[in-house]
Amino acid sequence: MTIHHPQAPQFFLTSPSPCPYLPGRAERKVFTHLTGDRASGLLDLLSQGGFRRSQNIAYRPACERCRACISVRILVDEFTPSRSFRRTIRKNADLIAFEGKAEPTSEQYSLFRSYLDDRHLTGGMSEMSVLDYAMMVEDSQVDTRLIEYRMRVPGAIGTTDERGGELMAVALSDVMADGLSMVYSYFEPDAAERSLGTLMILDHIERTRKLGLPYLYLGYWVEGSAKMNYKIRFQPQEHLMPKGWERFVG
């Protein structure tokens, strides 16, 4: 007779759907719910096995004939920014980051909508309403932070006007036992020259280091998907392989 612990998580499998990364392929995911006092500990454990969080769900790919999605984490203590990365930091010296609770605003949604319309018009998130966005931000039972990247307001440092600068980018991130996990980020699509996606990762590397944690989790890298190639630029990093986390040499 099999005895199930009453608090053991239950796992479910989605039906096949079109893969958003590789044309002509189908994807399936295995998932479980993150609820109650055990949510943070469960997410820490599942992240070691390649799971990601979306709202109160932890999931990972479970495709029948494809293993292209590979979990990636940056070794923050060994990371040194390249010349290109340092240029990105200098180029955005007129931005300031504000970290706070995961609380949605209409200003955020407006930027989020512009980002989706420019970058993901036909994606699964393209129809997200303001309520859907609010749930994405708020529906978390783990330690989740929201970082806003705004234009600096001249002469406003230390005043109530400091947060009045134009919102340029937003990152939603989880604090875990061994690192930060970038859940979702978006930015002003008309500011491509700033490389804001790169900037947010560089900023999160520093935030992870300051917390004394070893890893920054970036989600999945999909070999063969051009829009995922940027993740390989941040070295050194580890990939989750069949035998466990292994250092990637690109």
Mean pLDDT over each residue of the chain, to the nearest integer = 91
pTM, rounded to two decimals: 0.92
- The verdict on residue 13 lying in a domain is no
CA distance 206 to 77: 9
Q: How confident is the model at residue 179 (pLDDT cuts 50, 70, 90)?
A: very high
Within a domain: residue 51?
no
Count the Cβ atoms, other than its own, within 10 Å of residue 147: 19
Determine, yes or no, domain membership for 38. Answer: no
Which residues on neighbouring strands pair with residue 222, listed in sequence order? 69
Count of structural domains within the chain = 1
- Tell me the backbone φ, ψ of residue 136, rounded to 5 degrees: -60, -40
Tell me whether residue 209 is in a domain.
yes
pLDDT average, residue stretch 7-16: 89
Query: Percent of the chain at pLDDT above 90?
Result: 78
**Range of the structural domain that residue 148 is part of:** 73-247
49 in any annotated domain: no
The CATH number that applies at residue 165 is: 3.40.630.30
Kindly state whether residue 59 falls inside one of the protein's structural domains: no
Instruction: Provide the Cα torsion 81, 21, 239, 82; round to 10°.
Output: -10
Q: What sign does the dihedral 233-42-33-173 (CA atoms) show?
A: negative
Please check whether residue 30 lies inside any domain of the structure: no
How far, in Å, CA of 188 to CA of 194, rounded? 10
Half-sphere exposure of 153 (CA within 13 A, CB side): 12
Answer whether residue 234 is part of any domain: yes
pLDDT digits (tens, 9 = 90+) for 110-120: 999 999 998 76
pLDDT for the residue numbered 226: 83
Digit-coded pLDDT (tens) for 75-109: 999 999 999 999 999 999 999 999 999 999 999 99
Cα dist from 131 to 115, 127, 173, whole Å: 17, 11, 19
DSSP-based three-state secondary structure for 99:
strand
